[in-house]
């Protein structure tokens, strides 16, 4: 077996995952895991049956990389370093006699009678009855993901669903987020608010930036927002800053403030629940003065503040590009690939694995698990052929 890698080191992108810690999978059951990938998630079932999360953890444990799940969901190597995963894979390749061709470009496929016959590379032509394209998408091109595999797939007759950068920060028309740059919130709920396209949304941590919003909840939401941006030009969001608190509870708080803390300003009472800078912004966009006392907090003002606390509006006008996208949405059209083997339905002997296919998941070990599972199935299928 030969691996053709155009960088001078293998697994470079792997080192950047999980902030360098490598969140290689998670603890979800298979059904929930597939559902997280959307309407195409069922395509993954054969690969996940071959290489489940538990089997993946066992594989690395057998290669001296035990894993842990400190929060019961995310799974990391015990070393807390992606390097240990990279080294284990390199050692596994070495023990199996895999030939690593580093710094080598694959420029075209050699196809005869609709079957793979080899690969043309910068080091010459390599004859092969089976080829696996595992070139990734276009996210983080500096780490090797240039989208080069798409051209090879097209040469073999495949269709490419337009690649888009996802798991990216979102840019807003509103400028007030820059005043909160660096402020983070835990456990907010964010959803898209387009007519007939309202989604269930996502819950997680949010980070305000100089250009808009980011953080895990926004990165996950970008999977839906980015394609909609291409279609609509602007995508409205609604953010519940404290989803565990119902509107009725907020109203009860307001009543309590009025009766028990009438002389205190609403601002000072609100910043007991939110960062002061955000409390100030909420009052400003609700058109409520910071000096307003709890006793003078009128019903119309309460309603305006409640609306911002539970349905804070933001208009998304742009998003991060491939340079800072964690994942690529789009890729090889799934109906052109056999999910049981990950072999092309068009060119015999051509297999696919990972992000090059039109499948992408949220943050949290989803995409790496798919990479490992699909790589395992494609490898076994190609070897069997």
Q: Provide Rg for the chain, Cα atoms.
A: 25
Closest CA to 180 of 297, 314, 295: 314
At a CB cut-off of 8 Å and minimum separation 6, what does 247 contact? 306, 310
Q: Distance between CA atoms of 376 and 373, rounded to whole angstroms?
A: 5
Closest CA to 50 of 359, 353, 360: 353
CA 331, 337, 342 angle in degrees (round to 5)? 100
Q: Are 64 and 90 in contact (CB under 8 A)?
A: no
Q: Is the pLDDT of residue 53 over 70?
A: yes
Out of 3.10.20.90, 3.20.20.450, 3.40.50.2300, 3.50.50.60, select the CATH number for domain 2-165+329-384. Answer: 3.50.50.60
Q: Is the pLDDT of residue 385 over 70?
A: no
Q: Are 228 and 166 in contact (CB under 8 A)?
A: no
Average of per-residue pLDDT across 5-11: 91
Closest CA to 187 of 286, 254, 313, 274: 274
Find tokens 């690649």 and name the residue.
Answer: 163
Residues paired with 108 in a beta bridge: 120
**Distance of alpha carbon 385 from the chain centroid:** 33
3-state helix, strand, coil in the chain (%, to 5): 40, 25, 35
Average of per-residue pLDDT across 219-238: 95
pLDDT digits (tens, 9 = 90+) for 55-107: 999 999 999 999 999 999 999 999 999 999 999 999 999 999 999 999 999 99
Record the pTM. Answer: 0.92
The dihedrals phi and psi of 153, each to the nearest 5 degrees, come to -65, -40
User: What per-residue confidence (pLDDT) applies to 118?
Assistant: 95
User: What per-residue confidence (pLDDT) applies to 18?
Assistant: 83
At a CB cut-off of 8 Å and minimum separation 6, what does 11 contact? 85, 86, 89, 90
Q: Which two tokens stand for residue 342?
A: 């990950």
Q: Is the pLDDT of residue 143 over 80?
A: no
Could you give the residue range(s) of every CATH 3.50.50.60 domain in the chain? Answer: 2-165+329-384
pLDDT digits (tens, 9 = 90+) for 12-46: 989 988 889 999 999 999 999 999 999 999 999 99
């Amino acid at each position: 077996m030969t691996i053709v890698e155009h960088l001078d080191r293998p697994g470079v992108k792997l080192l950047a995952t999980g902030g360098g810690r490598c969140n290689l999978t998670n603890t979800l059951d298979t059904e929930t895991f597939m559902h997280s990938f959307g309407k195409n998630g069922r395509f993954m079932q054969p690969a996940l049956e071959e290489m489940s999360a538990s089997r993946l953890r066992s594989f690395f444990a057998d290669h001296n990389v035990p894993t842990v799940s400190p929060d019961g969901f995310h799974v990391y190597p015990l070393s807390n370093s992606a390097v240990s995963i990279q080294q284990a894979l390199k050692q596994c390749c070495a023990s199996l006699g895999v030939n690593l061709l580093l710094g080598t470009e694959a420029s075209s496929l050699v196809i005869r009678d609709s079957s793979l016959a080899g690969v043309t590379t910068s080091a010459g032509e390599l004859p092969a009855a089976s080829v696996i394209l595992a070139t990734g998408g276009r996210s983080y091109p500096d780490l090797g993901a240039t989208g080069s595999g798409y051209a090879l797939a097209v040469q073999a007759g495949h269709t490419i669903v337009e690649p888009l950068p996802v798991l990216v920060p979102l840019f807003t028309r509103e400028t007030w987020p820059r005043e909160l740059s660096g402020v983070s919130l835990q456990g907010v709920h964010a959803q898209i608010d387009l007519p007939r396209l309202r989604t269930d949304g996502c819950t997680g941590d949010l980070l305000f930036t100089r250009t808009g919003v980011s953080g895990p909840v926004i990165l996950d939401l970008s999977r839906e927002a980015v394609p909609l941006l291409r279609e609509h030009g602007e995508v409205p969001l609604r953010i519940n800053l404290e989803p565990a608190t119902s509107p009725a509870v907020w109203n009860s708080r307001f009543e309590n403030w009025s009766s028990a803390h009438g002389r205190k300003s609403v601002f000072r009472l609100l910043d007991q629940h939110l960062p002061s800078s955000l409390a100030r912004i909420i009052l400003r966009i609700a058109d409520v003065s910071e000096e307003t006392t709890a006793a003078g907090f009128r019903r119309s003002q309460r309603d305006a503040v409640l609306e911002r606390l539970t349905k804070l509006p933001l208009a998304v006008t742009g998003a991060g590009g491939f340079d800072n996208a964690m994942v690529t949405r789009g890729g090889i059209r799934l109906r052109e690939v056999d999910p049981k083997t990950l072999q092309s339905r068009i060119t015999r002997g051509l297999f696919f694995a990972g992000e090059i296919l039109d499948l992408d998941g949220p943050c949290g070990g989803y995409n790496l698990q798919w990479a490992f599972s699909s790589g395992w199935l494609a490898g076994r299928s190609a070897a069997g052929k």
